[in-house]
Amino acid sequence: MIKTLDRRTVIRALIVFVVGAALLTIAQIAVGDSAAAAPAAGTETAIAQAADAAAGSADLTDVEDPSVVEEDPGSPNPSGTTSRPLQLLFNGIIFGLLLALASVGLSLIYGTTGLSNFAHGEQVSFGAVLTYFLTTQQPVGLPFIPNDFVIGLPLIPAALIAVAVSAFTGWLQDKYLWSPLRRKRAAMVQQMIVSIGLSLALLNLLQWWIGGRRLRLTTAIDERWTIGPIVVGRTALFSGLIAIVCLLGVSFFLLRTRLGRATRAVADNPSLAAASGIKVDSIVRLVWIIAAGLAGLGGILLGLYDQGTAFDAGARMLLLMFAAVTLGGLGQAFGALAGSLVIGIVVEMSSLWLSTDLKIATALIILIGVLLVRPQGILGRAERVG
């Protein structure tokens, strides 16, 4: 599955990226204030986002600044961290791993069915929101039901239930929406717009259900440990470990099990796979279940890592997910993993020289750059592109 990288294209992609980042930096210096102290801008953005979200507009700005690890805004060396680049690298790896959980599913769905699923962001948010619904001590309600109630389960059982329910929604979607559309031979454009409508409906359903405010998945205080030059939060570490275990599990499944190999075959070439006797419809159903489950898990872990989530947490990540998947090669699960790590690290480390609210911009530039020079991504095959 691993193809040799074409060195010239990687160099071209890097050039595009460097030029784009340089332009952004220049623009930033020329037009605006100098890069605001990163932590301050980080927290401000987070609060601004929550306020906007509460006001009702679906706020699609950047992901919360995970460098909230730095507790003392404004000071050049926030408590604990002695090496900002290494800290950001670590943050980037963790963030990349969590992003990978969400992106792998997106990539597999594309590979097996050709669908760019614009509703995947909501799949991520759903897992997080459901977990909040189950664990919070605040009263919560359901749409149309007048009374509020408290469920208050502990985090781990709630998370497991949420992941299971998320996986179930994947099954539901494929059974009642996507496979009927495929049987009707609906064009890709049609399916894509359906996913857009679904995204709109689900985003607003989540907002209707749980409101626009910021949601904390756990009220436990996060311990911080200092390991060498970096500060590591306990939740960050555990989220990362869980993500690694799950990603290893997925990799094992894809590489070593018969079902997994069949899945890769379908993702690579559905008609050829069907011709060799693989039951494509069952594989696709399985892919939807796995993708939705992983996305839900990703949403939960991200909600823990960011110390909070919201109805649009996933929507805000959608572009990052697409960037990761495109970078790695649409349809290549391992590409999605590689792409997510690259995006995670780049996004985090860009705050070394760019203001934090321009962080996402680097991911967008990568996305556009990759599509320019090598639309099939790092691992993809040229034939896939138009």
Partner 1 sequence: MQELIDLLTGAGREIFGPATAAFALAAIGLNVHFGLTGLLNMGHAGFMLLGMYGYAITVRETGNMWLGILAATVAAIVFGLLLGWPTLKLRGDYLAIVTIAASEFVRFLGRSQVFKDLTGGSTGIRGTDFKEPFESLSPFPDKLVTIGPFTMHGSRSSSWWLVVVAWVIVGLFALLFWRLANSPWGRVLKGIREDEDAVRSLGKNVYAFKMQALVLGGVIGAFGGVLFALANAVQPDSMGRPTTFWVWTLLLLGGAATVFGPILGSILFWVSLVTVRGLAGWFIPENVMSATEREPFSLVLVGITLMCLVVFRPQGILGNKRELVISG
What is the binding site for partner 1 (CB under 8 A)?
27-28, 31-33, 35-36, 41, 44, 48, 52, 56-62, 116, 143-146, 181, 184-190, 192-194, 196-205, 207-208, 211-212, 315, 319, 322-323, 326, 355, 357-358, 360-361, 364, 367-368, 371-372, 375, 385-386
DSSP-derived letter for residue 212 is: S
Please give the backbone phi and psi of residue 230, each rounded to the nearest 5 degrees, phi first. Answer: -120, 155
Pick the closer one to partner 1 by CB: 247 or 365. Answer: 365
Which of 115, 246 has the CB closer to partner 1?
115
Measured from the CB of residue 154, what is the shortest distance to partner 1 in angstroms? Answer: 29
What SS3 state is found at 332? Answer: coil
- CB closer to partner 1, 76 vs 386: 386
3-class SS of residue 309: strand
What is the rounded CA–CA span in Å between residue 121 and residue 106?
A: 10
Minimum separation from the CB atom of position 276 to partner 1 (A): 27
- Cβ neighbours of residue 305 under 8 Å, at least 6 residues apart? 66, 94, 95, 98, 233, 235, 236, 239
Contact 67, 87 (CB under 8 A): yes
**Complex with partner 1: residue 111 or 293, whichever CB lies closer:** 111
CB closer to partner 1 out of 261 and 384:
384
Q: Shortest Cβ distance from residue 228 to partner 1 (Å)?
A: 32
Q: How far is the CB of 13 from partner 1 (least distance, A)?
A: 13
At its nearest, how many Å lie between partner 1 and the CB of residue 120?
A: 12
The answer for residues whose C-beta is within 8 angstroms of residue 212's C-beta and 6 or more apart is 50, 53, 54, 55, 56, 310, 311
Q: Where are the beta strands (DSSP E) in the chain?
A: 224-227, 230-233
> What size, in residues, is the chain?
386
Question: Measured from the CB atom, is 94 or 321 closer to partner 1?
Answer: 321
CB of 256 to partner 1, least distance (A): 31
> Nearest-CA neighbor of 109 among 198, 241, 214, 226?
198
